[in-house]
Amino acid sequence: MVKLMVIEKYKERTPSSKKLWERAVGLFCGGINHNIRTFGLDNCDAYPPYIARGDGSHIWDVDNNEYIDWWMTHYSQILGHNNSAVRSALAAQIERGIHFGGLNEHMVSLAEKLREGVSFLKKMRFCSTGAEATMYATRLARLFTKKKLVAKTLGGWHGGNDALAYHLQSPYTDEPYFNGVSFNFNERASFDKVMKEHGSDLAAVIIEPVLGAGGAVPPDNDFLPYLREQTESRDILLIFDEIITGFRFSYGSAGENEFGVIPDLMTLGKIVGGGMHLGVYGGREDIMGLATPGAEGGRWVGGGTFSSHPLAMTAGCAALDQLKGKKDEYPGLNKRCTDFRNEVNRIFDESQYKAISTGHGSLVYIHSLYNRMDGPPLTGTDIGKELDHDALDKFQSLLMQEGVYGYHGLGAMSFSHTKEDVEKTLDAIRAVVTN
């Protein structure tokens, strides 16, 4: 009864969102254009709010309801929404033109800033999405090694391309276009098994330094160095997908700065696009050289009408300029979010609520579970087999009612989140777990 009353209260506050949702379901598959952007509540005909504007750590829906935003554009807006410097850069570029389908000065500037921030990014290419970046990185790895097989982690999400979109959710059944092998994050034995059975056929191993959609799980202290050692000894390329982690925990690569491991190739996106559409793939010059037109042994790698889009280039430059000036502020942001995650877990423990908060640095996820965990999960499989999707939908819906917006349970902290935002979010979580 309480849950029904809550959703009815939400409906009363969001009539414009409801009307837009009713129109959308007749136009889009499931009413959406990204599977994660919806949830339900006990078949009560729930719908997500439609967002009209944002500023800093807050967003407002089309009915002018205000939310503390933790989703932050899929973790992209580490500087906060509607950043003035990014907005000014975009406005200036729009005055000159939107896109020309040719070269522009800003693509050179952005690449120089990225290479300054990431020591091993010797050559790179820009595209429009993270899914493209991982696809092209995989293609280059296959060209360079002349091998076809790629290994990834169970639950690892690297975009919706056929090369890597398999073994995404527990119980990790094979996908229709299954064409790779997987191992369990943080489990040497699982990785060793893949190496023993398929090592001679592997072109690359691709992994996020901190597991993202698979559970926001950080690596054990020696797991990434072990992957580097084992791949290097077998002439297998190591690819770090840093579309989430890049420039998130420090200014540059999480693999390099946080964990002391340098891959052969990497992908970037989200933060480095300043809120605009951007994918980056790059690394060793000898591997990336195969993307050069006319290169011996090369092939067509890269393209896209909107690659190196002037708006994305200018927004990325403006974002990186500010983040470079915040190098010394990253540790404080990471600590604030770590303290926040710890407090969330304390609330869950005290209330015996079946959920756990995971993450690293400024990433914070909340997982609703069938059974409580005794400690932090070490692998995505630990979470996947216990994840209660219906309970998580309910949790997110109730948080939304309390004025807190997030997916995957929550999302990421930005430099714009205030102490008041944190306290209000904790109060909202307390209210949800006690209802």
User: 269 is written with which tokens?
Assistant: 């996106």
Distance (Å, whole) CA 256 – CA 434: 42
More confident residue, 332 or 409: 332
User: 137 is written with which tokens?
Assistant: 């990185």
* Percent of the chain whose pLDDT exceeds 90: 79
| 104 & 73 share domain | no
> pLDDT class for 221, splitting at 50, 70, 90?
confident
- Tell me the pTM: 0.95
Number of domains in the chain: 2
**pLDDT at 249 > cutoff 90:** yes
| 113 & 172 share domain | yes
Tens of pLDDT, residue by residue over 110-150, are 999 999 999 999 999 999 999 999 999 999 999 999 999 99
**pLDDT at 176 > cutoff 80:** no
| 75 & 122 share domain | no
User: 226 is written with which tokens?
Assistant: 């072990």
Cβ atoms < 10 Å from Cβ of 177 = 11
The residue length of the chain stands at 435
| 18 & 136 share domain | no
Nearest to 368 by CA among 385, 387, 382, 352: 387
| 133 & 280 share domain | yes
Write out the residue range of the structural domain in which residue 340 sits. 2-82+328-434
Distance (Å, whole) CA 23 – CA 190: 47
CATH number of the domain within which 128 lies: 3.40.640.10
Tens of pLDDT, residue by residue over 65-124, are 999 999 999 999 999 999 999 999 999 999 999 999 999 999 999 999 999 999 999 999
pLDDT for the residue 408: 83
> pLDDT class for 178, splitting at 50, 70, 90?
low
**pLDDT at 32 > cutoff 60:** yes
| 108 & 171 share domain | yes
User: 122 is written with which tokens?
Assistant: 């010797």
> pLDDT class for 415, splitting at 50, 70, 90?
very high
| 73 & 90 share domain | no
Compute the mean pLDDT over every residue in the chain, rounded to the nearest whole number.
93
pLDDT for the residue 177: 56
- Among the listed ranges 34-48, 139-153, 292-306, 382-396, which one has the minimum average pLDDT value? 34-48
Distance (Å, whole) CA 66 – CA 62: 10
Tens of pLDDT, residue by residue over 309-342, are 999 999 999 999 999 999 999 999 999 999 999 9
In which element (H, E) is residue 218 found? none
**Region class of 403: left (phi > 0), else alpha (psi between -120 and 50), else beta:** left
| 232 & 89 share domain | yes
Of the residues 324, 348, 382, the one at which a domain ends:
324
Say which residues have a Cβ less than 8 Å from residue 148's Cβ, sequence separation at least 6.
142, 179, 201, 203
Distance (Å, whole) CA 276 – CA 73: 10
**pLDDT at 44 > cutoff 60:** no
**Omega prior to 171 cis, within 30 of 0:** yes
> pLDDT class for 8, splitting at 50, 70, 90?
confident
What average pLDDT does this structure show over 253-271? 98
More confident residue, 320 or 394: 320
pLDDT for the residue 2: 46
DSSP class per residue in 242-293: -TTTTTTSSSS-HHHHTT----SEEEEEGGGGTTS--EEEEE-HHHHGGGST
Of the residues 291, 324, 357, the one at which a domain ends:
324
CATH number of the domain within which 54 lies: 3.90.1150.10
Of the residues 258, 292, 324, the one at which a domain ends:
324
CA angle 182, 188, 191 (to 5 degrees): 25
What average pLDDT does this structure show over 398-404? 92
| 167 & 153 share domain | yes
**pLDDT at 190 > cutoff 50:** yes
**pLDDT at 293 > cutoff 70:** yes
| 290 & 357 share domain | no
pLDDT for the residue 64: 98
| 180 & 279 share domain | yes
| 182 & 305 share domain | yes
User: 251 is written with which tokens?
Assistant: 């200014």
